[in-house]
């Protein structure tokens, strides 16, 4: 899957995409008032650092695992001089967890710069996970060989009050360690990038460009902290002579991104090869921005048809000096993409296009039922030394569940087995363990559990129960004798 992009490490902007100011989102400790609302983490750092007027804080409050390293190279951005890496080979994932608003939309950006922190010459390859979904493979090898940092972006809606961003080993990781340099989680206005059904899909950034410009556009020009890369080809460039407003465009692109454009002469068809990468066969969200660059007048408009790879995208588009946005929520693309704009008859000027965005539509991989998440988080808090990967979604993605946890295969998964036998774990069993109503097997023998055994009457699917060789006090609760499917204790 394509990454969001790569940028020279000495001048990379830490900016990205949409952000809307919700006063109910928690403020970051020590964050600048000018920061978009959200979380900006300097991974592995011990001090607050500033890049392009954005302040990044140390990441230690948002993860409990990992080891920090310093990159000893000159001319690095402050956020690239440290990183956090995860050498534990037994953990199924390594997570950051953020307090968020349930049902709110977020833009997540991960930033990587290898810097040979582990003494090697080639960056490790690993997975990244958003909530319960494998988001993409992180492979920064090509970017790093060119002296570039890499970034990835995804737009999601949080299903709960916490949002997890995780890294995990895969078959390509070997003995190397997943790592991360910086991490951003930003709140988005709910209207942006609709009508995607975010209960079923996420959007992975493929390309975001402004046409005809020379420089990267980011915060503060884009108040949502999106990064717009410049795009030019052999077509003529025009500069707008209008007072443009972002509010006149769907998805609110920054004024600078639509103040220039690519055009062609009267009567000619405008063709661009964009985005400038080969795309895997999939469905994509495409948003194109148009604006007539001429001085505003009754005649400052131009009409044309827009086609993508020979298929009509929009007919008789009217691009005025005020501007217009055209988007498709699910458009099939594969390989090289060609956008063709054919002018209407007798138009005195050729077509024009100012900016564009493309996102790959990512089907979500499911999640754990909320009551099971709460019960498992309660259990994790009651243990003095829970397994190191007990963060993020307990069940998903499949293959990256918490150590000792087995789950059902439904989209909304249930915890069906818990096996912590001989794990050297100390702590207590919280009463909420009885809310794991799909649990068939509970094995925690051979540990150092103390306290009383709570009421388990809710575990009506329980078939086997192993509590032996612990330090529990008191007698077994009477509810155990009434469990209808219990066969072994």
The confidence score (pLDDT) of residue 224 equals 80
Burial per residue of 213-235, b for 16 or more beta-carbon CB atoms within 10 angstroms, e otherwise: beebbbbeebebbbbbbebeeeb
CB 249 within 8 A of CB 287: no
Q: What is the CATH number of domain 206-363?
A: 2.60.120.430
In this prediction, residue 410 carries a pLDDT of 95
Q: Say which DSSP state 335 is in.
A: E
* pLDDT of 65: 96
Where on the phi/psi map is residue 278: left (φ > 0), alpha (ψ -120 to 50), or beta?
Answer: beta
pLDDT for residue 36: 78
Backbone angles phi, psi at 251, to 5 degrees: 75, 5
Neighbouring-strand partners of residue 167: 94, 128
Contact 335, 310 (CB under 8 A): no
Question: What does the block give as tokens for 411?
Answer: 């989209």
Q: What integer pLDDT is reported at residue 98 of this predicted model?
A: 97
Beta strands in 113-269 (DSSP E): 126-130, 133-138, 148-157, 162-168, 179-180, 182-188, 201-211, 229-231, 237-239, 260-263
Domain 367-482 is found in CATH 3.40.50.1970: no
Q: Which residue intervals of the chain bear CATH 2.60.120.430? A: 206-363
Helix/strand/coil percentages in the chain, nearest 5: 10, 40, 55
Give the span between the Cα atoms of 344 and 119, in whole angstroms. Answer: 60
Which pLDDT value is given to residue 402? 98
pLDDT digit of tens for each residue in the chain (489 aa)? 444 565 443 333 222 222 222 222 233 333 344 677 899 999 999 999 999 889 999 999 999 999 999 999 989 999 999 999 999 999 999 999 999 999 999 999 999 999 999 999 999 999 999 999 999 999 999 999 999 999 999 999 999 999 999 999 999 999 999 999 999 999 888 889 999 999 999 999 999 999 999 999 999 998 888 899 999 999 999 999 999 999 999 999 999 999 999 999 999 999 999 999 999 999 999 999 999 999 888 888 899 999 999 999 999 999 999 999 999 999 999 999 999 999 999 899 999 999 999 999 999 999 999 999 999 999 999 999 999 999 999 999 999 999 999 999 999 999 999 999 999 999 999 999 999 999 999 999 999 999 999 999 999 999 999 999 999 999 999 999 999 999 999
Tokens standing for residue 152: 């990835």
Residue 282 per-residue DSSP state: E
As annotated, the residues of the chain forming the CATH 3.80.10.10 domain(s) are: 367-482
Q: Say what the pTM is.
A: 0.90
Distances (CA, A) of 320 to 196, 315, 384, 405: 27, 15, 64, 58
**Per-residue confidence (pLDDT) for residue 35, from 0 to 100:** 77
pLDDT confidence of residue 296:
86
pLDDT at 451: 97
Rounded Cα–Cα distance for residues 190 and 447 (Å): 47
C-alpha distances out from residue 312 to 241, 315, 323, Å = 30, 7, 20
Centroid of chain to Cα 484: 43
Euclidean distance between CA atoms 262 and 231, whole angstroms: 9
Structure letter (DSSP) for residue 402: P
For residue 5, the model assigns a pLDDT of 64
pLDDT at position 6 is 56
The separation between the first and the last C-alpha atoms of the chain, rounded to the nearest angstrom, is 48
CATH T-level topology, domain 5-192:
Jelly Rolls (2.60.120)
The H helix count followed by the E strand count for the chain is 2, 35
């Amino acid at each position: 899957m394509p990454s969001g992009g790569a940028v020279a490490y000495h001048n990379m902007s830490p900016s990205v995409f949409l952000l809307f100011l919700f006063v109910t989102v928690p403020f970051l400790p020590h964050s600048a008032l000018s920061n978009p609302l959200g979380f900006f983490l300097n991974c592995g750092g011990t001090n607050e650092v500033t890049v392009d007027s954005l302040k990044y804080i140390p990441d230690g409050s948002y993860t409990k695992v990992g080891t920090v390293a310093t990159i000893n190279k000159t001319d690095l951005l402050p956020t690239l001089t440290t990183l956090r890496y995860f050498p534990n080979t037994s953990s199924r994932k390594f997570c950051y967890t953020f307090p968020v608003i349930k049902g709110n939309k977020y833009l997540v950006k991960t930033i990587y710069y290898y810097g040979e922190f582990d003494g090697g010459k080639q960056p490790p390859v690993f997975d990244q996970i958003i909530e319960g979904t494998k988001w993409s493979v992180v492979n920064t090898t090509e970017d790093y060989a060119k002296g570039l940092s890499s970034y990835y972006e995804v737009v999601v809606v949080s299903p709960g009050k916490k949002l997890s961003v995780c890294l995990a080993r895969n078959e390509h990781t070997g003995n190397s360690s997943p790592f991360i340099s910086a991490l951003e989680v930003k709140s988005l206005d709910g209207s942006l990038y609709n009508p995607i059904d975010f209960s079923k899909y996420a959007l992975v950034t493929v390309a975001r460009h402004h046409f005809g410009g020379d420089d990267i556009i980011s915060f503060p020009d884009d108040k949502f902290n999106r990064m717009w890369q410049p795009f030019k080809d052999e077509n003529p460039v025009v500069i707008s002579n209008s007072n443009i407003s972002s509010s006149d465009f769907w998805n609110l692109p920054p004024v600078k991104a639509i103040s220039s454009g690519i055009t062609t002469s009267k009567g000619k068809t405008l063709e661009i090869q964009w985005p400038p990468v080969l795309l895997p066969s999939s469905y994509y969200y495409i948003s194109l921005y148009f604006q007539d660059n001429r001085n505003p007048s009754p005649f400052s408009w131009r009409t044309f048809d827009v086609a993508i790879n020979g298929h009509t995208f929009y007919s008789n588009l009217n691009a005025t000096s005020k501007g217009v946005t055209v988007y498709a929520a699910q458009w099939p693309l594969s390989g090289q993409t060609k956008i063709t704009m054919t002018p209407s008859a007798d138009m005195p000027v050729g077509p024009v296009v100012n900016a564009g965005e493309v996102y790959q539509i990512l089907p979500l991989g499911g999640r754990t039922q909320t009551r099971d998440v709460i019960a498992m988080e309660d259990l994790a808090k009651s243990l003095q030394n829970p397994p190191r990967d007990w963060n993020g979604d307990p069940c998903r993605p499949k293959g990256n569940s918490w150590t000792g946890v087995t789950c059902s295969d439904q989209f909304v998964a249930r915890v069906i087995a818990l096996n912590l036998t001989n794990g050297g774990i100390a702590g207590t069993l919280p009463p909420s363990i009885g809310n794991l109503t799909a649990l068939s097997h509970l094995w925690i023998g051979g540990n150092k559990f103390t306290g009383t055994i709570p009421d388990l009457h809710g575990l009506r699917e329980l078939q086997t129960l192993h509590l032996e060789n612990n330090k529990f006090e008191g007698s077994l609760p009477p509810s155990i004798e009434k469990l209808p499917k219990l066969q072994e204790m």
